[in-house]
């Protein structure tokens, strides 16, 4: 037998098929079940024509067929289906050799069959199938009233309450700087805010001391600021030194003659933690007029570090100053004036009641008001500091008082330091006295 492809028509004699039975010129179900599927017929052979679509819905008995996605019957679609049926039946007849000419003629629909099909215009069908929109009377009246009210008002007076000013990304300029750790900086400062409570001390711890008071503490820190300046140490070393002194005095009772030894030892520890090149013990003994020996310094160092349980990594006001100055888009003048304000606070015992982050934010706010001559606190600064302008008022007013009296009295170490050209003569700026008018 000559072989043909499955998509080519050929007459196949029933006698040439082995193992297949014939019943009335047709193959049995066994043949149909074992027959390979034809890819080009698409199940249209012997399929009845779909009934008419009436009012956008198929006939009830045709719902399960889902024929052609319920397309509406048009003249063009009906003719194409008839031609498809004719071509497929002719192809099937040639394969099986079972249908005669009369059967082929029956498969061709006549004009009467086409006229019996109800034809619907597509545009009319689509319009009829669209559901009507619901009408909400109350909502319509409300919209009309709102439109009338909007016509009477001035567009310039309409407040856009839902639109908030976007906070700029202050770290965008440091994306390529690996030392800026842009990907982790927010997490770092979130940790600093949680850990800053551990660096705070009780604001009245001096009541536990029997031989020293807050004035002696102020004299010690004012002297250490000058020592720090002469040794040209890093700024963070000074803030950590003051923090170590307060935390140690909170837990240990110290006599008056040993207070300077506590200050010198605290600076030695801070230098070991922050500096690259630290001053030797002999230099610190010399600058303290040899009031103490080397053994006394080392003994105090051991006592202090055990009292503090080796906890040197605490967030001081300095770490917050660097971040908040960046949020304020500061220049060198604002930076120096802000550090002048906060170093004045290091000397004052009463400022221990404020958190390190609040001190840093208030120093920058006071410096901005001093330079501009009016109150200024941007949305960006408020976002990154987590402090509003009202929360800074009490601390800022204290800083203005310290600024007014910085050149008077005996403790003028900070004023002299910031009256030099190296620090931009920041101490000579006029205090922001208008901030004192808001005092209750």
How do residues 228-256 score in pLDDT, each as one tens digit? 999 999 999 999 999 999 999 999 999 99
Same domain, 298 and 397: no
For residue 369, give the CATH number of its domain.
Answer: 1.10.472.10
State which of 72, 101, 128 marks the end of a domain. Answer: 128
Same domain, 292 and 323: no
State which of 128, 146, 165 marks the end of a domain. Answer: 128
Same domain, 274 and 335: no
What are the pLDDT digits (tens) for 360-373? 999 999 999 999 99
State which of 128, 163, 195 marks the end of a domain. Answer: 128
- Measured between alpha carbons, how far is 221 from 217 in angstroms, rounded to an integer? 6
Query: Which one has a higher pLDDT value, 119 or 245?
Result: 245
Average pLDDT over residues 383-401: 94
What are the pLDDT digits (tens) for 407-422? 988 899 999 999 999 9
* Confidence band for 45, pLDDT divided at 50, 70 and 90: very low
Same domain, 45 and 71: yes
- Over 80: is that where the pLDDT of 185 sits? yes
Instruction: Look at residue 57 in the predicted model and tell me its pLDDT.
Output: 46
Report the interhelical angle of 393-404 vs 356-372 (nearest 10°): 60
Instruction: Look at residue 73 in the predicted model and tell me its pLDDT.
Output: 57
Same domain, 356 and 418: yes
- In the chain, the percentage of residues whose pLDDT exceeds 90 is 52
- Over 70: is that where the pLDDT of 387 sits? yes
Same domain, 340 and 303: no
Number of domains forming the structure of the chain: 3
Same domain, 103 and 34: yes
Asked if residue 197 belongs to a domain, the reply is no
Same domain, 404 and 434: yes
* Confidence band for 36, pLDDT divided at 50, 70 and 90: low
- Listed ranges 72-76, 166-170, 310-314, 333-337; the one with the highest mean pLDDT: 333-337
Radius of gyration of the chain (CA): 46
Asked if residue 253 belongs to a domain, the reply is yes
- Over 50: is that where the pLDDT of 131 sits? yes
* Confidence band for 171, pLDDT divided at 50, 70 and 90: confident
Q: Is 231 helix (H, G, I), strand (E, B) or coil?
A: coil
Same domain, 364 and 431: yes
DSSP character for 54?
B
Asked if residue 192 belongs to a domain, the reply is no
**185: its two tokens:** 């900086």
- Measured between alpha carbons, how far is 32 from 20 in angstroms, rounded to an integer? 10
What pTM, to 2 d.p., does this model score? 0.63
Instruction: Look at residue 78 in the predicted model and tell me its pLDDT.
Output: 64
Average pLDDT over residues 41-62: 47
Same domain, 366 and 329: yes
Asked if residue 168 belongs to a domain, the reply is no
Q: Please give the full DSSP string across 328-397, using - where no structure is assigned.
A: TT--HHHHHHHHHHHHHHHH-GGGGGS-HHHHHHHHHHHHHHHHHSS----HHHHHHH---TGGGHHHHH
Asked if residue 248 belongs to a domain, the reply is yes
Same domain, 286 and 332: no
* Confidence band for 97, pLDDT divided at 50, 70 and 90: low
| 58, 119, 139 from 64: Cα distances, Å | 10, 22, 41
Asked if residue 13 belongs to a domain, the reply is no
Average pLDDT, the chain: 77
Query: Which one has a higher pLDDT value, 147 or 249?
Result: 249
- Measured between alpha carbons, how far is 407 from 170 in angstroms, rounded to an integer? 36
Instruction: Look at residue 417 in the predicted model and tell me its pLDDT.
Output: 95
Query: Which one has a higher pLDDT value, 150 or 356?
Result: 356
Average pLDDT over residues 298-320: 94
- Measured between alpha carbons, how far is 88 from 438 in angstroms, rounded to an integer? 96
Domain, as residue range, for 72:
22-128
Asked if residue 201 belongs to a domain, the reply is no
Average pLDDT over residues 101-109: 48
Q: Out of 159-173, 321-335, 400-414, which region has the weakest mean confidence (pLDDT)?
A: 159-173
Asked if residue 343 belongs to a domain, the reply is yes
Same domain, 52 and 85: yes
């Amino acid at each position: 037998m000559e072989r043909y492809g499955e998509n080519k028509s050929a007459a196949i004699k029933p006698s040439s098929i082995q193992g297949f039975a014939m019943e009335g010129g047709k193959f049995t179900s066994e043949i149909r079940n074992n027959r390979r599927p034809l890819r080009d017929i698409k199940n249209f052979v012997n399929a009845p024509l779909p009934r008419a679509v009436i009012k956008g819905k198929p006939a009830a008995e045709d719902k399960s067929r889902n024929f052609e996605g319920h397309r509406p019957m048009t003249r063009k679609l009906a003719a194409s289906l008839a031609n498809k049926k004719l071509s497929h039946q002719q192809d099937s007849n040639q394969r099986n050799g079972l249908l005669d000419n009369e059967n082929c003629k029956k498969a061709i629909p006549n004009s009467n069959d086409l006229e019996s099909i109800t034809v619907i215009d597509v545009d009319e069908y689509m319009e009829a199938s669209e559901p009507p929109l619901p009408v909400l009377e109350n909502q319509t009246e409300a919209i009309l009233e709102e439109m009338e009210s909007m016509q009477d008002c001035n567009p310039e007076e309409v407040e856009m309450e839902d639109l908030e000013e976007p906070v700029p990304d202050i770290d965008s300029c440091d994306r390529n700087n690996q030392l800026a750790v842009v990907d982790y900086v927010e997490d770092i400062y979130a940790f600093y805010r949680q850990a800053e409570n551990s660096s705070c001390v009780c604001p009245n711890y001096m009541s536990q001391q029997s031989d020293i008071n807050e004035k002696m503490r102020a004299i010690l820190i004012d002297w250490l600021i000058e020592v720090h300046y002469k040794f040209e140490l890093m700024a963070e070393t000074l803030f950590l030194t003051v923090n170590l002194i307060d935390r140690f005095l909170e837990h240990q009772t110290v006599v008056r003659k040993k207070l300077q030894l506590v200050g010198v030892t605290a600076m030695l520890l801070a230098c070991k933690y922050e500096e690259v090149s630290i001053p030797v013990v002999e230099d610190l003994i010399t600058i303290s007029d040899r009031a103490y020996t080397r053994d006394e310094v080392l003994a105090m160092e051991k006592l202090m570090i055990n009292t503090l349980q080796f906890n040197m990594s605490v967030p001081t006001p300095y770490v917050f100053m660097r971040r908040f100055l960046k949020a304020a888009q500061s220049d060198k003048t604002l930076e120096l004036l802000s550090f002048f304000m906060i170093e004045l606070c290091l000397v004052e015992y009463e400022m221990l009641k404020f958190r390190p982050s609040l001190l840093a934010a208030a120093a920058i706010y006071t410096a901005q008001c001093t330079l501009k001559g009016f109150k200024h606190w941007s949305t960006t600064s408020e976002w990154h500091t987590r402090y509003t302008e009202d929360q800074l008022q009490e601390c800022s007013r204290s800083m203005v008082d310290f600024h007014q009296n910085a050149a008077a009295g005996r403790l003028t170490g900070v004023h002299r330091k910031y009256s030099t050209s190296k620090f931009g003569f920041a101490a000579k700026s006029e205090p922001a006295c208008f901030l004192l008018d808001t005092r209750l």
